[in-house]
Chains A and B, each alone.
Chain A
Amino acid sequence: MIRISHLYVSYRSTFSDVEAVTNASLTIAKGTIAALVGESGSGKSTLLMAILSLLPPGTLVKGKIIFDGEDILQIPESKLNRIRWERIALIPQGAMNSLTPVLSVGQQIREILSFHNGIKGLPAERKTAELLDKSGLPSSVAGRYPHELSGGQKQRASIAMALACDPDFLLADEPTTALDVITQGEIVSTLSKIVRDTGMGMLLVTHDLPLATSVADHITVMKNGLIVEQGSTEEILENPHHVHTRELIAALKVLEGGNSN
């Protein structure tokens, strides 16, 4: 269980401080998918990076992020490196530039296996092939470099990497942006299948409400750093409180209406 309570994040920039997240509270339980929805710049990625304690140095963070009874924001860096990826893994936004360009996909996965699980040599190669297979990639991809992969393949490689240590939680930051609709669907279904099968928890960040409603158990809506709506998917669809959510749902209905025609 990850329990975020009263989180404030403000970035230091040259001219003024930017308060990116204001008083956010959110819980992600194992075995469920929580979606974080909001327009661009609403502070979704910021919240996600706060969970991994990866905000740029100098950023002001207040509040608590309780994981396993400990506040992540207070844990020293060396211990954090054991939580990162072994317990909480990240599927980065876009994934376009999240793979080190000079290392092959296999090298990057094996590096994680070697450091976190101590798996090396042949077993590591076998595990790599297994992970790639699970994310829907042929095992030959292990020998390829990022520039030799398509956007969708890169995204799947990122998923394979995230699953390397069988984490308890997955943080997926808009895993499908910049992909075509068909690939988007495929990737999201791969992801939700994995999550359901293994019983891990997932926080799915997206600005795509229809996508959120189709896979998530809980939905949180953010706007300008504030959480404006929170609840189970059904609740939100049935009874949206905030104007912003209503607008989003209205847009969704129009779309669905259009589709049924």
Chain B
Amino acid sequence: MKNYWIKRIASAFLVLGVVLILNFLLFRMMPGDPVSSIIDPRFSPEAKEQLRKIYGLDLSLSRQFILYAKQMITFRFGISFLTQRPIWEELSSRIPNTVALLGSALILSAIIGTLLGIKAALNRGTVIEKIVLWGGAVSFSFPSFFVQLILLMCFGYLFPIFPLRGTISIPPPTGAMAAVADYIWHMSLPVISLVLLGFGGWALYVRNLMVKVLGEDFILMAKAKGLPSHNIIWGHAFRTILPPVITIFLLALPGIVSGAVITETVFSLHGVGRFLLESVTGHDYPAAGAAFYLLALLTIMSNLIADLAYGFVDPRVRFERRGKR
């Protein structure tokens, strides 16, 4: 067990290292003058010289990288070209929104997907199973932004139940309660859209695993033991498929984080993903690098948490390697 944890943490650090290298290379090793992609060309020569120092552009590449890694790990991202303000200042106000968006969407779609998947597995050939199968097909073939645009058109324009854009109303409402309600109102449609897009795949996967596990001998045994069906379904069947469910969650995680960029763009949310897009389109490279780094960090951390959870739920973790299919 201890071995497993050490391995997982080590692999998280490996991924972090690769992210840092990629990030470093992506924005520095591009064709053309490397300086111009890191330092705003409109700056005065003195300011440029100072920034050169900060970024250590006169040092050797490896020294530059070490300096860069240090800055990234301590969240010192530098100054944005576009806003001329510290990037961290800009990002820190956005992180809670992105985490809230992805977190609540993930939790909701996991709960709904799991419940529907189990229901579908227990009631083969019913409407619920059809919903799950279709929901799965939608989430694998429809572009997420298309579904979101349609939802926005329906419930933001044709039946204006939800706002068309933004994270808070302008002007912002007064009072804490009103502010919270306003925030929830703005986040509802994005979260709902992500849940609609996410639950299908989740439910389909849970259903397939459940159908398989319900045919196993130990489920028949649990019935023979006279256990109530609630115990059998959750305590035996679902408990058994929990490890592969976590595995698929791990595989889906990077895609979910990528989805933040698109969702925040469609709904014009004040989040890290849209900041990344704005920075990329505005050629604000330090800002884009920082946003990418934060999104990757978010993925790595969720990955680690899921990995550790996996260690808890799978007793075979000591003997078998995960990911063998």
Contacts and interface: CB of A to CB of B under 8 A. Distances in A.
Interface of A: 52, 54, 80-86, 89-90, 92, 96-104, 111-112, 115-116, 145, 147, 161
A16 to B, nearest CB: 21
A147 B221 contact: no
Nearest to B224: A90
Interface of B: 216-218, 220-228, 231, 235-236, 239-240, 242-243, 313-316, 319
Contacts of B222: 100
Contacts of B217: 92, 96-98
B228 A81 contact: yes
B244 to A, nearest CB: 11
- The B interface, classified by DSSP as helix, strand, loop or mixed, is helix
A96 B235 CA distance: 20
A174 to B, nearest CB: 13
Contact of A54 (B218, B224, B235, B242): B224
B227 A81 contact: yes
11 contacts: A54-B223, A80-B226, A81-B227, A84-B226, A90-B224, A96-B217, A98-B220, A101-B218, A101-B240, A145-B315, A147-B316
A100 B225 contact: no
Contacts of B228: 81, 115
A102 B224 CA distance: 18
B236 A84 contact: no
A84 B239 contact: no
Contacts of A90: 221, 224
Nearest to A48: B224
Given A112-B225, A145-B315, A54 B240 contact: no
B226 A92 contact: no
A100 B234 CA distance: 12
Contact of A104 (B314, B315, B316): B315
Nearest to A101: B240
Given A54-B223, A100-B221, 17 more contacts: A54-B224, A84-B226, A85-B226, A92-B221, A92-B224, A98-B217, A98-B220, A99-B221, A100-B218, A102-B240, A102-B313, A111-B225, A111-B235, A112-B227, A115-B226, A115-B231, A147-B315
A208 B220 CA distance: 25
Contacts of A99: 218, 221
Nearest to B217: A97
Contact of B221 (A83, A98, A104): A98
Nearest to B218: A100
Given A100-B240, A111-B231, A111-B235, A81 B218 contact: no
Contacts of A96: 217
Contacts of B227: 81, 111-112, 115
Give the 9 A-B residue pairs with the shortest CB-CB distance, closest first.
A84-B226, A81-B226, A145-B315, A97-B217, A98-B221, A85-B226, A90-B224, A100-B218, A100-B236
A97 B216 contact: yes
B235 A97 contact: no
A92 B242 CA distance: 25
Contact of B239 (A54, A86, A92, A103): A103
A67 B243 CA distance: 41
A106 B236 CA distance: 14
Nearest to A80: B226
Contacts of A104: 315
Contact of B226 (A86, A100, A103, A147): A86
Given A92-B217, A100-B239, A84 B225 contact: yes
A52 B239 contact: no
A102 B221 contact: no
A102 B313 CA distance: 8
Contacts of A92: 217, 220-221, 224
Nearest to B313: A102
A84 B218 contact: no
A86 B242 CA distance: 30
B125 to A, nearest CB: 12
A83 B226 contact: yes
Question: Taking each of B225, B235, B314, B315, which has the highest tally of chain A beta carbons within 10 Å of its own beta carbon?
Answer: B225
A202 B236 CA distance: 27
B319 A103 contact: no
Nearest to B320: A147
A25 to B, nearest CB: 23
A103 B217 CA distance: 15
A72 to B, nearest CB: 13
A115 B228 CA distance: 9
Nearest to A145: B315
Contacts of A115: 226-228, 231
A82 B226 contact: yes
Contact of A85 (B218, B224, B316): B224
Question: Taking each of A99, A102, A111, A161, which has the highest tally of chain B beta carbons within 10 Å of its own beta carbon?
Answer: A102
A83 B225 CA distance: 9
Contacts of A80: 226
Question: Taking each of A80, A92, A101, which has the highest tally of chain B beta carbons within 10 Å of its own beta carbon?
Answer: A101
Contacts of B216: 97
A85 B236 contact: no
A97 B315 CA distance: 16
Nearest to B239: A102
A225 to B, nearest CB: 21
A82 B225 CA distance: 9
